[in-house]
Amino acid sequence: MKSYILFSFAIVLASCSASAPVIIRPGEVWPDDRGTHVNAHGGGVLYHDHTYYWFGEHKGERSSAAWVGVTCYSSKNLADWKHEGVALQVSPDTASDIRAGSVIERPKVIYNKKTKKFVMYFHLELFGRGYSAARVGIAVSDRVTGPYTFLRSYRPCAGHWPLNMTEEQRAATITPGDFPEWWTADWRQATNDGMFTRRDFEGGQMSRDMTLYVDDDGKAYHIYASEENLTLHLAELADDYLSHTGKYIRIAPGGHNEAPALFKKEGRYFMITSGCTGWAPNAARLHTADNIWGPWTEHPNPCVGENAHLTFRSQSTYILPVAGKKNAFIFMADRWTPYHPIDARYIWLPILFENGLPVLKWYDQWDLKEVFQ
Ligand code: GAL
């Protein structure tokens, strides 16, 4: 009898121990602590005080627009998620930039150690104007789960030139209006040479799909699809993370990248992006750099196997370093369902490395504990 009790006790201990499996099921319904599919799309995760906080877009049954705001969930193990509520609420005030029905996408939250504030950036489109505003929105909170206070929205880096635009490119006078047609060889050349950057120099650069990245030295960067989604920009944030300093570069000019997600491994920066086909998936792209300010080099699609050309029917949103593990990163992506937005699924896959480069393979399910030992 005694040994039976001891044995049962050992089993219970083992199942509660750190070695218990943490199963991730890409593409399935992910119930939260209430049994409801997690509603945090285009999201990102902040690890703070031994807890993961997942922020994302709240989506409706029929509408992808922001009728609620940015949601927050918390987890200790990355598999069991507790609904923490709405971190940033849309405003009932029709004069507000974030009025209900605007577009709030790809929110990301970072923590500023100096100010002890949590800072949220997101892609904002003003109510009723489609995707023409192309702004970044900024909100702040003293508490990780919010409520976040909306500060402002704008197009970044107004009045500043990218570090990697030459004097000649800055001084050129050709404009998009000079081209009756897009995608011609001359148009491409002019685009690569910064025609759209010049056009938006005074009013600020367009800012749509985005992510944030905090480097080891505490410097934070905002990376966003700019120039009509033709070129990515990587811009430095002020020390309090609440604005842009105006220092920025263009990445992959004319390359049509969006959905940027960034991580650093052994001093090298990696960025996974998608092409621009709206809600429909396409092949992921990989970019690397030894210095965050570039040069950035493009590599082939990191996905392999069936549906690799569609990023396993998903689009990148964030790359999550697993806390306490060396070189353990999770690729986070969305499998959009625009006719039933709330049901969009999460595709989380471990980043494997071959010859120093990230590789993504499909798993119906995987054990975080087993993959990242
Ligand atoms: C995608 C983008 C999404 C959303 C969508 C709207 O290309 O990555 O975040 O903006 O377009 O069509």
What pLDDT is recorded for position 13? 47
Domains: count for the chain: 1
What pLDDT is recorded for position 18? 58
β pairing state of 345-350 and 357-359:
unpaired
Residue 106 alpha carbon, nearest atom of ligand 1? 9
Instruction: Report the mean per-residue pLDDT for the chain.
Output: 95
Q: Is residue 309 part of a domain?
A: no
In tens, the pLDDT along 201-241 reads: 999 999 999 999 999 999 999 999 999 999 999 999 999 99
In tens, the pLDDT along 275-312 reads: 999 999 999 999 999 999 999 999 999 999 999 999 99
Q: What is the mean pLDDT of residues 151-170?
A: 98
Distance 169 CA to ligand 1 centre (A): 30
Atom 6 of ligand 1: nearest residue by CA position:
278
In tens, the pLDDT along 55-92 reads: 999 999 999 999 999 999 999 999 999 999 999 999 99
Where do we find the tokens 């054990």?
367
Q: List pocket residues of ligand 1, CB cut-off 6 Å.
A: 42, 105-106, 209, 258-259, 276, 278-279, 315
Report percent pLDDT > 90 for the chain.
94
Q: Is residue 45 part of a domain?
A: yes
Give me the phi and psi of 150, to 5 degrees please.
-70, 130
Distance 73 CA to ligand 1 centre (A): 22
**Greater pLDDT, 14 or 140:** 140
Residue 11: pLDDT above 50? no
In tens, the pLDDT along 23-39 reads: 999 999 999 999 999 99
Distance 161 CA to ligand 1 centre (A): 27
Q: Please report which residue ranges of the chain form alpha helices under DSSP H.
A: 2-16, 167-171, 185-192, 195-199, 368-371
In tens, the pLDDT along 258-269 reads: 999 999 999 999
pLDDT band at 8 (very low <50, low <70, confident <90, very high): low
The answer to whether 8 and 2 have CB atoms below 8 angstroms apart is: no
∠ CA 328-329-334, nearest 5°, is: 155
Return the amino acid letter for 300.
P
DSSP state letter for 162: -
159 vs 168: CA distance, rounded Å: 17
CATH of the domain at 136: 2.115.10.20
Atom 5 of ligand 1: nearest residue by CA position:
278
Q: Is residue 138 part of a domain?
A: yes
pLDDT band at 133 (very low <50, low <70, confident <90, very high): very high
Q: Is residue 333 part of a domain?
A: no
Return the amino acid letter for 345.
R
pTM of the model: 0.95
The answer to whether 56 and 41 have CB atoms below 8 angstroms apart is: yes
Beta strand extents in 256-338 (DSSP E only): 258-265, 268-274, 285-289, 297-299, 315-321, 329-335
Where do we find the tokens 């929205």?
153
72 vs 88: CA distance, rounded Å: 9
In tens, the pLDDT along 332-359 reads: 999 999 999 999 999 999 999 999 999 9
Distance 362 CA to ligand 1 centre (A): 23
- The token pair that represents 172 in the structure block: 């050129």
**Nearest C-alpha neighbor of 300 from the set 290, 311, 316:** 311
In tens, the pLDDT along 86-127 reads: 999 999 999 999 999 999 999 999 999 999 999 999 999 999
Q: Is residue 135 part of a domain?
A: yes
Q: Is residue 146 part of a domain?
A: yes
DSSP state letter for 99: B
Q: Is residue 16 part of a domain?
A: no
In tens, the pLDDT along 35-53 reads: 999 999 999 999 999 999 9
The 8 Å CB, 24+ separation contacts for 173-178 are: 175/199
pLDDT band at 14 (very low <50, low <70, confident <90, very high): very low
User: The domain containing residue 109 runs over which residues?
Assistant: 28-154
Helix (H, G, I), strand (E, B) or coil at 195: helix
What pLDDT is recorded for position 373? 87
Q: Is residue 139 part of a domain?
A: yes
